[in-house]
Amino acid sequence: MEAKYLIIGSSHAALEALRAIRQVDAEGSMAMLTRDVHLPYSPTILPYVVSGRSPAERVILRDEAFFTASKCTFVGNTTAVGLDATAKTVTLADGGSWRYDKLLIATGAAPAIPPVPGLDGVSYHVLRSLDDAQGLRKAMGTARRAVVLGAGLVGLHAAENLAEAGLAVSVVEMRSHVLPGYFDAKASTRIEAAFTEHGVTLFLGRTVVGIDGGKGQACTVRLDGGEALETDLLLVAAGVKPVVDWLAGSGVAIDRGVLVNDTMRTNQPDVWAAGDVAQARDFHSGEQALIGIIPTAVEQGRLAGMGMAGDSYVKPYAGGLPVNTYRFFGRVALSIGQAAAEGGGEVAEHEGPGYRRVVLADGRLVGYASVDEPFDVGIMGELIRRRVDLSGCKQDFLDRPLETGRRLMSEGWR
């Protein structure tokens, strides 16, 4: 089989690349391969599949008709296992292969499994695919107790699902606060309190020393403090790692993810990478980093697609900004940029019914986070990206960030 444009993966980065390619090249042959058996959906929606709020058939982002209209061959249930960048060929688990002119690596990330003694001997859940979500939903129906390893986005979303379903939930996190990197201690403390109020037991700054198997799905999780958490359901949510195993020996340069330049090109000719799999420029540090969120996957996918189709309007990637829009028990926590940074910048915290934390450096916004006090995340992101000088309106900005941000964007637009 062959295609001018071959896209491996069918999630956010892949779909944006398709769109960008078709904006310039309406006809060039295209194929999208994915190891998933389902039509495209977002991993982000999975907690809502677990809770039952989003029925599995309603989470599909693009249907068959879309692929027909886009003149793209969609091939599900197909795993890429190798790449020969010289022969421009991708090999598949079923023995088949695809030749390409331009290749996009958009294989995203998969759950990272920590080296915990005993973990390989028990059955546990992860949450990254639709099948994972349906499996977890099913298991949740019969279990009474659950242990979640990891208090990142995935772990907390799942813990909430489980608690709301009536299970007794414990969350174990190595670091001292939930959602590290996105929120400072004050913000995290508010989020932690909500979990505690809803009956979730948090073990923060703690490590799992071992896991013992039990009957069926049951097991016992032993912590460094000597506690033994008996559970019917174990969920591992200890972060993710880019899916790069299939690129071994291909010559594609890999650090933690696939290394890409500012147009999402890899070191191999006619091979691009985008999304959670790619290690691209970080806006703040300028280094190549992993930022596994939808906004960066979308932006990188678009740039890669433009490059693949030879779109002359492609502009170099400005770098990814961490963004987190998090709902917990109906409440809101938001974060963008270097919002949890300590030192270096100027920090203004404001605590009332809600909490906000503004980080400035050189009179410019570099990070903003809040809990129970919504703000326009996109506007703050633009102020950061454009490095807008706030020295003329700093007090206004600190006192009334929402209004001032809206004003600046409205004025800047004209």
Partner 1 sequence: MGTAFDTITFKASSCDGCGKCMTACAEAKQGAARISIVPGTKESSFELAMCRQCGDPKCVMVCPAGALAKDDGSGVVQWDASRCIDCLLCTAGCSYGGISLDSHTARVSKCDQCDGDPACVKACPTDALQWVTAGSVFNKYGDKEDMFVPGLSGCQGCNSELIMRHAMRKIGRNSVLATPPGCIPGMGSVGYNGKTGTKVPVFHPLLTNTASMLAGIRRYYDRVGRKDIVVMALAGDGGTSDCGFHAVSGAAERGEKVLYVCVDNEGYMNTGMQRSSTTPFGSWTSTTPVGEHMRGKSQDAKNLPLIMVAHKCAYVATASTGYMEDLYDKLDKAVEASFRGFSYLHIYSPCPTGWRIPSSKVIEACRMSVDSNFVTLWEYTREGGLRFTRSPDRPIPVRDYVKMIGKYRHLDDAQLDHIQSRVDEQVTLLKRMAAAPAAEPAVI
Ligand X SMILES: Cc1cc2nc3c(=O)[nH]c(=O)nc-3n(C[C@H](O)[C@H](O)[C@H](O)COP(=O)(O)OP(=O)(O)OC[C@H]3O[C@@H](n4cnc5c(N)ncnc54)[C@H](O)[C@@H]3O)c2cc1C
The binder of 108, among partner 1, ligand X, none, by C-beta within 5 to 8 A per type, is: ligand X
Does the protein bind partner 1 through residue 165 (CB under 8 A)? no
- The item of ligand X, partner 1, none sharing an interface with residue 127, based on CB under 5 to 8 Å by kind, is ligand X
Among 4, 19, 99, 128, which residue interacts with ligand X (rule: CB under 6 A)?
Answer: 128
Cβ atoms of residues 67 and 236 within 8 Å: no
| 295 counts as binding partner 1 under rule CB under 8 A | yes
| 54 binds ligand X per the rule CB under 6 A | no
Beta-bridge mates of residue 364:
361, 389
128 binds, among partner 1, ligand X, none (CB under 5 to 8 A by kind): ligand X
Lookup result for tokens 């020969």: 84
**Contact between 323 and partner 1 (CB under 8 A)?**
yes
Binding positions for ligand X, 150-189, rule CB under 6 A: 153-154, 157
Judged by CB under 8 A, the stretch of 117-125, 165-173, 227-235, 401-409 that binds partner 1 is 401-409
387 contributes a contact to partner 1 by CB under 8 A: no
Measured distance CA(377)–CA(385) in Å, rounded: 12
146 versus 336: smaller Cβ distance to partner 1: 336
DSSP bridge partners of 231: 219
- Give all strands of the β-sheet with 346-351 in edge-to-edge order: 323-328, 331-337, 364-371, 355-361, 346-351
Residue 50: burial class (beta carbons within 10 Å; 0-12, 13-18, 19+): buried
- Minimum distance, C-beta of residue 28 to ligand X, in the bound complex (Å): 21
CA neighbours within 13 Å on the CB side: how many for 246?
Answer: 23
Cβ neighbours, 10 Å, residue 315: 9
- C-alpha closest to that of 106 among 239, 6, 19, 30: 6
Asked if 134 is part of the footprint of ligand X (rule: CB under 6 A), the reply reads no
Please tell me whether residue 97 binds ligand X under the rule CB under 6 A: no
- Does residue 48 belong to the site contacting partner 1 (CB under 8 A)? yes
Q: Does 336 bind partner 1 (CB under 8 A)?
A: yes
E-strand ranges in 214-252 read: 219-223, 228-231, 233-236, 240-242
**Is 292 a binder of ligand X (CB under 6 A)?**
yes
Rg (CA), the chain: 22
Interaction of residue 320 with ligand X, rule CB under 6 A: no
Stretch that binds ligand X, among 18-26, 102-110, 163-171, 357-365 (CB under 6 A): 102-110
Residue 278 near residue 267, CB atoms below 8 Å: no
Q: How far apart are CA 364 and CA 388, in angstroms?
A: 6
C-alpha separations of 146 from 155, 160, 225 in Å = 12, 11, 19
Q: Coil, helix or strand for 53?
A: coil
Helix (H) or strand (E) holding 105, with range, is strand 97-105
Please report whether residue 382 would count as binding partner 1 according to CB under 8 A: yes
44 binds ligand X (CB under 6 A): yes
**Residue in 6, 47, 74, 302 binding ligand X, rule: CB under 6 A:** 47
Chain-centre distance of CA 192, in angstroms?
21
* Identity of the residue, 225 or 378, whose beta carbon is nearer to partner 1 in the bound complex: 378
Chain residues that interact with ligand X, rule: CB under 6 A:
8-14, 33-36, 42-44, 46-47, 79-80, 106-109, 127-128, 153-154, 157, 243, 246, 275-277, 292-295, 297
Chain residues that interact with partner 1, rule: CB under 8 A:
12, 16, 42-45, 48, 53-54, 58-61, 294-295, 298, 302, 323, 325, 327, 330, 332, 334, 336, 374, 376-379, 381-382, 393, 403-407, 409-411, 413-414
